[in-house]
């Protein structure tokens, strides 16, 4: 009979701190986006509202991942043993399905709206975002390909009236999201260097997934905020 999975105290606390930090940074980013609505020009407020609400939802599910980790183990002597409660892996999937499409749509509302930011982007880009939202919970490979389609429409085939200065923030933001999805893709194919023992597989996978969530949520959100603030500062004072 195989022994129960146990984790050293240091391993358990490292994962718990990482999960708590991920949830905290995600929630702080959502709050920052929401508060900065008052600092930008009116036509850029809707993208910030959309991204703030979606990131806040992602933060809620990240908290669920952290709480599930705490329930899955209990201290027994000098190590932590499993309790039988499952980990909330599906919460991460839902968080990405909420936040990533909304962030991309917010970038599209700033850059692709004809003649003004904050409006509706072209139908082709909106279709790519809807398909991406549907593919994220199902297939990492399909989501990665759809992200490439959305990135091409956003960066390389914009309409003539697109807001050019935001390109400087869009490309690294998409690169950050693409890296997060690529990590998820490698994890699904079991190509990540997670070790051979059960405890190392669990600990490293949780830490890597949390880092991927930060790449998918926090960095693109801050880049969106930077681009919107930059564009808003360039607006004439009388138009705000």
Model pLDDT for residues 98-128, shown as the tens digit of each residue: 999 999 999 988 887 644 545 567 788 899 9
Predicted confidence band of residue 88 (pLDDT cuts 50, 70, 90): confident
158-162: average pLDDT: 56
How confident is the model over 177-199, as pLDDT tens digits?
Answer: 999 999 999 988 888 888 778 88
Residue 95 vs residue 196, higher pLDDT: 95
Q: Is 174 part of any domain?
A: yes
Strand ranges (DSSP E) for the chain? Answer: 6-8, 73-76, 79-82
237 vs 135: CA distance, rounded Å: 42
Q: What is the CATH number of the domain that holds 176?
A: 1.20.1070.10
Q: Is the pLDDT of residue 240 over 50?
A: no
| 116 against 129, higher pLDDT | 129
Q: 12 in a domain, yes or no?
A: yes
Lowest mean pLDDT segment, chosen from 176-190, 195-209, 221-235? 221-235
- Domain span at residue 66 reads 6-239
Residue 53 lies in a domain: yes
Q: What is the pLDDT of residue 169?
A: 82
Is residue 37 very low, low, confident or very high in pLDDT (cuts 50, 70, 90)? very high
Least confident of 9-18, 91-100, 167-176: 167-176
Cβ–Cβ < 8 Å for 62, 213:
yes
Q: Read off the DSSP letter of residue 235.
A: S
Judged by DSSP in three states, 84 sits in coil
Has residue 1 been placed in a domain?
Answer: no
Structurally, the chain folds into a number of domains equal to 1
Per-residue confidence (pLDDT) for residue 23, from 0 to 100: 97
Q: What DSSP state is assigned to residue 162?
A: -
Residue with tokens 């959309």: 50
Residue 25 belongs to some domain of the structure: yes
- Asked whether the predicted pLDDT for residue 238 surpasses 50, the reply is no
- pLDDT score recorded for residue 95: 96
Q: Is residue 68 part of a domain?
A: yes
Cα torsion 172, 21, 136, 29 to 10°: value is: -60
User: 209-220 pLDDT, tens per residue?
Assistant: 999 999 999 999
Bigger pLDDT: 4 or 208?
208
Element (H, E) at 90: helix 89-111
Eight-class DSSP state of 239? G
């Amino acid at each position: 009979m195989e022994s129960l999975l146990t984790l050293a105290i240091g391993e358990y606390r490292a994962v718990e701190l990482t999960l708590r930090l991920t949830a905290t940074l995600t929630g702080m980013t959502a709050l920052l986006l929401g508060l900065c609505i008052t600092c930008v020009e009116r036509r850029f407020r809707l993208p910030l509202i959309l991204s703030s609400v979606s990131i806040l939802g992602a933060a809620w599910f990240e908290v669920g991942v952290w709480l599930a980790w705490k329930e899955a183990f209990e201290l027994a002597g000098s190590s932590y043993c499993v309790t039988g409660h499952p980990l909330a892996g599906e919460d991460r999937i839902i968080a990405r399905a909420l936040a990533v499409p909304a962030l991309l749509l917010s970038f599209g509302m700033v850059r692709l709206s004809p003649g003004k930011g904050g409006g509706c982007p072209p139908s082709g880009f909106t279709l790519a975002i809807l398909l991406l939202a549907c593919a994220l919970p199902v297939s990492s490979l399909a989501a990665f390909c759809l992200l490439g389609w959305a990135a091409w429409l956003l960066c390389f085939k914009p309409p003539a009236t697109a807001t050019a200065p935001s390109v400087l923030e869009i490309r690294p933001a998409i690169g950050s999201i693409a890296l997060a999805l690529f990590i998820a893709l490698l994890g699904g194919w079991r190509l990540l260097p997670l070790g051979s023992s059960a405890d190392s597989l669990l600990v490293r996978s949780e830490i890597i997934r949390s880092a991927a969530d930060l790449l998918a949520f926090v960095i693109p959100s801050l880049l969106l905020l930077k681009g919107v603030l930059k564009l808003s500062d360039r607006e004439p004072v009388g138009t705000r």
